[in-house]
Amino acid sequence: MYGNDSPGEDVPGDLLSEVEAAEAALRAAAERDRGAADPGADLAAYFAEIIAADQKIEPRDWMPERYRRTLIRQIAQHAHSEIIGMQPEGNWISRAPSLKRKAILLAKVQDEAGHGLYLYAAAETLGVSRDELVELLLDGRQKYSSIFNYPTLTWADVGAIGWLVDGAAIVNQVPLCRCSYGPYARAMIRVCKEESFHQRQGYELLHTLAHGTPAQKAMAQDAVDRWWYPSLAMFGPPDSDSTHSAQSMAWKIKRFSNDELRQRFVDMCVGQAEVLGLTIPDPDLRWNDERGAYDFTQPDYDELMRVISGDGPCNRQRMAHRRRAHTEGAWVREAAAAYAAKQRSREKVTA
Amino acid sequence: MSQESSPLWEVFVRARRGLAHSHVGSLHAPDAEVALRNARDVYTRRQEGVSIWVVPAGAITASSPDEKDAFFDPAADKVYRHPTFYEVPEGAAHL
């Protein structure tokens, strides 16, 4: 069971039904009366009460300044990840091996742009503008997911990204569908439904390669070998080193720790890899009867820190590309704004 | 460049069999025409709807949660507004 934080509830185990369960819970919470209808003088107590009752905090509710700042940081970096994440896959659009695969990849990259947009919109409900957030990204003061700093070297990488990267993203994001901040939870529900398509198309792509010629199978295995550990690292540093975790969990922004989610992802992937006929590149991966989970080799967290701090294989390339698009697009944005202003002034004259 | 160059729009979509337009999200666009096109691409990629409204976010006035009680109170006071308030005499059918 993934992302099920209300024990006793009968929720089927696959990720998409988890999302639907979260959506139902969101609707139910909205229909339930809030415990205390009147915030009264003690806003902090009222906030705590809403969180405790699993109600949603909405944009116009009072919230602690640190809750607001944490959410802005998290949602913005999530949005940046969607936008930067278009680059590694976009790299293969013009070289996709068939028209069908090309159309699928185009639809997927279009989804990523949409996800960025939903998330920027959710961040804006916290009183920050998208332009400011884009500035923070371009100045290198806000980050994006470490995973997009790895290169896509072969067509099979598109499949490995779908299966492993989007798979890890879903494991991470499904619990966020129950996040205490309403606009973020609603955005995550939309995102997760579409992300499921990405994960499955990636899996199907790898499955086709793994059951093709020996060269195709070797290409699929090589992609899985390169993307496995960076995908494990997507869940962030181990719980012992995670700076924001405890507070985020108390506020019900996060529902599970980095290590819990990473374990869940590994347990999920093992069976899926068997069906693919591919191996996970970890000689120490084995079932642990006592824990009821797989033991596995942790990713290299020193490498993760290097990549996050800007020194991964593609950091410079990704940021340079994003900055170039922004700078070279400036005249187009100005033209659109000038045209809109002219239309508005004409309407005023005729009105 | 000023922030206002690409203002925020709220997007409402009416589903294929939906009776009313529902708020689905927001987006930035320089004008209504572009907002509509982008809303089509972003919010109706999977046949989510057949009609779209875009409204400049600045044109919306919202009620405040602080005054929630006072603002909506009269509704709770006037129980006679609900049909269940009235007793139907026995034997009266189709009521």
pLDDT in tens, A225-277: 999 999 999 999 999 887 778 889 999 999 999 999 999 999 999 999 999 99
Mean pLDDT computed over A200-224? 97
Residues of A in contact with B56 (CB under 8 A): none
Q: Answer yes or no: are the C-beta atoms of A61 and A47 closer than 8 Å.
A: yes
Residues of B in contact with A344 (CB under 8 A): 31
Answer yes or no: do B27 and A340 touch at CB < 8 A.
Answer: no
Q: Say which residue, B85 or A296, is predicted with more confidence.
A: A296
CATH 3.10.20.520, domain B3-62, yes or no: yes
User: In sequence order, which residues have a C-beta less than 8 Å from that of residue A117 and are 6 or more positions away?
Assistant: B25, B27, B42
Residue of A nearest to B26 (CA): A121
- Phi, psi angles (nearest 5°) of residue A71: -65, -40
Provide the pLDDT for residue A221: 98
Distance CA A267, CA A269 (A): 6
Answer yes or no: do A333 and B30 touch at CB < 8 A.
Answer: yes
Residue A27: pLDDT over 90: no
Whether A184 contacts chain B with CB within 8 A: no
Mean model confidence pLDDT for chain A: 91
Element holding A294 (H helix, E strand): strand A293-295
- Phi, psi angles (nearest 5°) of residue A33: -70, 140
**DSSP class of A58:** -
Residues of A in contact with B5 (CB under 8 A): 333-334, 336-337
Answer yes or no: do B42 and A114 touch at CB < 8 A.
Answer: yes
ipTM: 0.71
Of A245, A257, A235, A222, nearest to A301 by C-alpha is: A235
Distance CA A96, CA A224 (A): 18
Q: How many CA atoms lie within 13 A of B58 on its CB side?
A: 5
Q: Mind listing the pLDDT tens digit for each residue in A177-202?
A: 999 999 999 999 989 988 888 889 99
Residue of A nearest to B34 (CA): A336
Q: Say which residue, B48 or A302, is predicted with more confidence.
A: A302
Distances in Å between the alpha carbon of A237 and those of A32, A246, A258? 37, 13, 7
Amino acid symbol at A226: R
Answer yes or no: do A110 and B26 touch at CB < 8 A.
Answer: no
Residue A203: pLDDT over 70: yes
Interface subset of A 104-163, CB within 8 angstroms of B: 110-111, 113-114, 117-118, 121, 124, 129-131
- pLDDT band at residue A89 under the 50/70/90 scheme: very high
Residue A3: pLDDT over 50: no
Which of A19-33, A65-79, A269-283 has the lowest average pLDDT? Answer: A19-33
Q: Say which residue, A240 or A98, is predicted with more confidence.
A: A98
- pLDDT band at residue A40 under the 50/70/90 scheme: low
- Sign of the CA dihedral with A192 first, then A198, A199, and A201 last: positive
Residue A127: pLDDT over 80: yes
Q: Which residue has the tokens 């979509």?
A: B13
Residue of A nearest to B8 (CA): A121
Q: Answer yes or no: are the C-beta atoms of B29 and B65 closer than 8 Å.
A: no
Q: Mind listing the pLDDT tens digit for each residue in A103-125?
A: 999 999 999 999 999 999 999 99
User: b/e string for A37-75 if b means 16 or more Cβ within 10 A?
Assistant: eebeeeeeebbeebbeebbbbeeebebeeebbebbbbbb
Residues of A in contact with B23 (CB under 8 A): none
Domain boundaries, chain B: 3-62
Cβ-nearest to B26 among A38, A121, A344 = A121
Cβ-nearest to A336 among B27, B30, B65 = B30
Answer yes or no: do A334 and B65 touch at CB < 8 A.
Answer: no
Q: What pTM, to 2 d.p., does this model score?
A: 0.86
Distances in Å between the alpha carbon of B80 and those of B74, B75, B88? 11, 10, 14
Answer yes or no: do B6 and A337 touch at CB < 8 A.
Answer: yes
Cβ-nearest to B66 among A39, A121, A337 = A39
Mean model confidence pLDDT for chain B: 84
Answer yes or no: do A61 and B65 touch at CB < 8 A.
Answer: yes
Residues of B in contact with A334 (CB under 8 A): 1, 5
Residues of A in contact with B42 (CB under 8 A): 113-114, 117-118
Provide the pLDDT for residue A351: 66
Q: Answer yes or no: are the C-beta atoms of A35 and A49 closer than 8 Å.
A: yes
Provide the pLDDT for residue A1: 34
Residues of B in contact with A119 (CB under 8 A): none
Residue A35: pLDDT over 70: no
Residues of B in contact with A330 (CB under 8 A): 1
